Structure 1
Amino acid sequence: MTRYAIPITSPEGLSSPVKEHFAKSEYFVILEAEEDKIVSVDVLHNVPSEEGEKKAADFLADNGVNVVLAGSIGPCMKSILHDRGVKVFMGAEGTAEDAFKDHMAGKLMEVQKTGF
């Protein structure tokens, strides 16, 4: 089973729009999926802080997230997530459900760890 995190603008879960600024996201929808089937959905409340990028990355990794689907994500956040063993895909748009479906269809781009 894979555990996905998608930054969202409001706590409505799958119907929430994807939030553009990943590190400052107040909410993340967490999906557990077996292949392309969602088996559970939860919304986690993240408290953004001065340590935004590190705190958000640690928060997600500590909650068992394996994959992040985001609209865009900065190089520092990508590096921190990769260091924690989390794969990152960019290009998510629309709702959280749209982002998951686009990922399953191979429409999101996996990004590799980058230096900064």
Structure 2
Amino acid sequence: MSSTLVAVPSAAPGGLEAGVDAHFGHCQMYTLISVEDGKVGNVEVIPNIPHEQGGCMAPVNYLAEHKVQAIISGGMGMRPLMGFRQVGIDVLHGNGAQSVQDAVNGFIAGSLPRFSQEFTCGGGSTGGCGNH
């Protein structure tokens, strides 16, 4: 049985019907979805943590601690993108998904592109997270 834990930055109250938050690091919460053999399994909502406790890497490490294997995001800076790669979390671009369910359906269908530098938020002189 194949299972992947997917995180989607979500607007309150979280869950499959919630809207997808545009930026992973500043979202209110994450909806964690267990995708098992191409179907939605367990769904859990966890709060985000403040950036102050480790800067841009705080949410990366937080999701890694929750055993997340993939994240679907509409935006993030280069530093957290590299951080996700370092901790082994696959980063996919949400492609404008309006709800968490839409994002997960795209994941299951394999239609979401890998998040690449072209999707990162502008960094300017402050780097990755500075200009959101």
TM-score normalized by the length of structure 1: 0.89
Give the alignment partner of residue 70 of structure 1, picking from 67, 70, 73.
73
1:109 aligns to what? Answer: 113
Q: How does 1:1-116 map to 2 (within 5 A)?
A: 1-50=3-52, 51-90=54-93, 91-111=95-115
* Contact 2:31–2:46 under 8 Å retained in 1: yes
How far has the Cα of 1:52 moved from its partner? Answer: 4.1
Identity %: 25
**Other structure's SS at 1:93 match:** coil
**Other structure's SS at 1:107 match:** coil
**Other structure's SS at 1:14 match:** coil
* Contact 1:92–1:108 under 8 Å retained in 2: no
TM-score normalized by the length of structure 2: 0.79
Q: Which amino acid aligns with 2:105?
A: K
* Count of residues in correspondence between the two structures: 115
Q: Higher Cα Rg: structure 1 or 2?
A: 2
CA RMSD of aligned residues (A): 1.9
Which structure's residues are more often strand, by fraction?
1
**Other structure's SS at 1:64 match:** coil
Give the distance between the partners of 1:14 and 1:38, measured in 2 at CA.
10
